[in-house]
Amino acid sequence: GAVVSQHPSRVICKSGTSVKIECRSLDFQATTMFWYRQFPKQSLMLMATSNEGSKATYEQGVEKDKFLINHASLTLSTLTVTSAHPEDSSFYICSALTSGGATDTQYFGPGTRLTVL
Cβ-based neighbours of 14, under 8 Å, separated by 6 or more: 116, 117
Q: CB of 103: closest distance to other proteins in angstroms?
A: 4
Which residue(s) pair with 81 in the sheet? 19, 67
Q: CB of 83: closest distance to other proteins in angstroms?
A: 26
Q: CB of 38: closest distance to other proteins in angstroms?
A: 9
Instruction: Give the interface segment with other proteins, choosing from 13-21, 44-52, 67-75, 81-89 (CB under 8 A).
Output: 44-52
Site for other proteins contains 105 (CB under 8 A): yes
Size of the site for other proteins (CB under 8 A): 18
Site for other proteins in 9-38 (CB under 8 A): 34
Site for other proteins in 46-65 (CB under 8 A): 46, 49
DSSP string, 60-99: TT--TTTEEEEEEETTEEEEEE-S--GGG-EEEEEEEEE-
Q: CB of 15: closest distance to other proteins in angstroms?
A: 24
Q: Identity (one letter) of the amino acid at 54?
A: S
Site for other proteins contains 106 (CB under 8 A): yes
Contact 111, 92 (CB under 8 A): yes
Which residue(s) pair with 56 in the sheet? none
Site for other proteins contains 5 (CB under 8 A): no
